[in-house]
A and B are shown apart, each in its own frame.
Chain A
Amino acid sequence: MADAVTTAWTPRGSWAGILASGAFGAAGQPGITIEARDGLCIASLIAGDGHHQALAQALQGRIGLDLPVTPRIVSSTRHDLVWAGPDQWHLIATDRDGFDELLRDLAPLAAVSDQSDGRAALRLSGPKLRDALAKGCMLDLHPSVFPVGAAALTSIAYMGVHLWRIADDPESGDAVFEIMVARSMAGSFWSWLSASAAEFGCRVTATGRG
């Protein structure tokens, strides 16, 4: 006979138990700022054969963004569309409002898969950020070759990462990058990032989601 319910399932943020708010590494002004991007709504879209144009039109109509056909990210206040391979994208929304309906309406045009709980993302900035990323990222992230809006799929310390550059921090003027990894890699990625960034001094903002 089946037991009574023995497990209570509670939602858990992707950085819960990994990231803690505060400072670590070298003292003084932080060279790197790290912010957890928990609670994003993320879906992967793979255009169906011959449906690229229809998918682009549907997204333009629904969220006002053009599908990027090169490794780029395009953003509005509530949504991002980031290139994730040929005929593939990630649709990212900051809240759940209307997200399920949007995915349902896109389903006839694309293979749609909700990845909200499958990815872990960080927002990174600070004057020393590129120095830290250079320890593991083989790409040239210099502004002349990786401008605002650029995106890339690559690997860092043998982990697949999806990274892109968003608008510069309006206060400091520093470049701002976001890095997304498979959620199962969050702990390992943090192990690499925290070790690589410590010498520059880091300030961490976790969301506190359990």
Chain B
Amino acid sequence: MRITCPHCGARDVQEFTYLGDANPQRPEGMATTEAAMHDYVYQRDNPAGRHRELWYHGAGCHAWLVVTRDTRTHAIEAVDTANAIAKGDAA
């Protein structure tokens, strides 16, 4: 599998580290319930198909990426930097 880093171009997957699902948002700790925090920390979907996930380009530009990938085929639909998504200006 190769991931096209928005900064570096297409690179072998061994340059990257997988973190996991990019969708969970951390609840506001002091305001949330124990159950909601438990879900955020431990509960993950395991989809057969489209998955948004975080990858770290540790052997390259050190950027965090959000990769949209089909877990059945490894076909990659989109790669954005997590930074661009956080700022709201991803494609």
Q: Would you call B7 and A71 a contact (CB within 8 A)? A: yes
Q: Would you call B7 and A85 a contact (CB within 8 A)? A: yes
In terms of DSSP, what is the predominant structure of the interface of chain A? strand
Closest chain B CB from A83 CB (angstroms): 9
Q: Using Cβ atoms and an 8 Å threshold, which residues of chain A touch B15?
A: 138, 154-155
| 8 Å CB contact of A153 from B8, B12, B14 | B8
Q: Would you call A154 and B60 a contact (CB within 8 A)? A: yes
The verdict on A153 contacting B83 (CB below 8 Å), with A71-B7, A86-B7, A138-B12 known, is no
Q: Using Cβ atoms and an 8 Å threshold, which residues of chain B touch A153?
A: 8, 59-61
| 8 Å CB contact of B11 from A85, A86, A154 | A154
Q: Would you call A71 and B8 a contact (CB within 8 A)? A: yes
Q: How far is the CA of A6 from the CA of B43 in the complex (A)?
A: 59
The verdict on A86 contacting B60 (CB below 8 Å), with A71-B7, A71-B8 known, is no
CB under 8 Å from chain B, chain A span 146-163: 152-155, 160
Q: Using Cβ atoms and an 8 Å threshold, which residues of chain A touch B68?
A: none
Q: Using Cβ atoms and an 8 Å threshold, which residues of chain B touch A152?
A: 8, 60
Q: How far is the CA of A154 from the CA of B11 in the complex (A)?
A: 9
Q: Using Cβ atoms and an 8 Å threshold, which residues of chain A touch B61?
A: 85-86, 153
Q: Mark B1-27, 1 if CB is under 8 A from A, else 0.
A: 000000111011011000000000000
B74 contacts chain A at the CB level, 8 A cutoff:
no
16 CB < 8 A contacts A-B: A71-B7, A85-B61, A85-B63, A86-B61, A86-B63, A138-B11, A138-B12, A138-B15, A152-B8, A152-B60, A153-B59, A153-B60, A154-B11, A154-B15, A155-B14, A160-B59
- The interface of chain A, by Cβ under 8 A from chain B, is 71, 85-86, 138, 152-155, 160
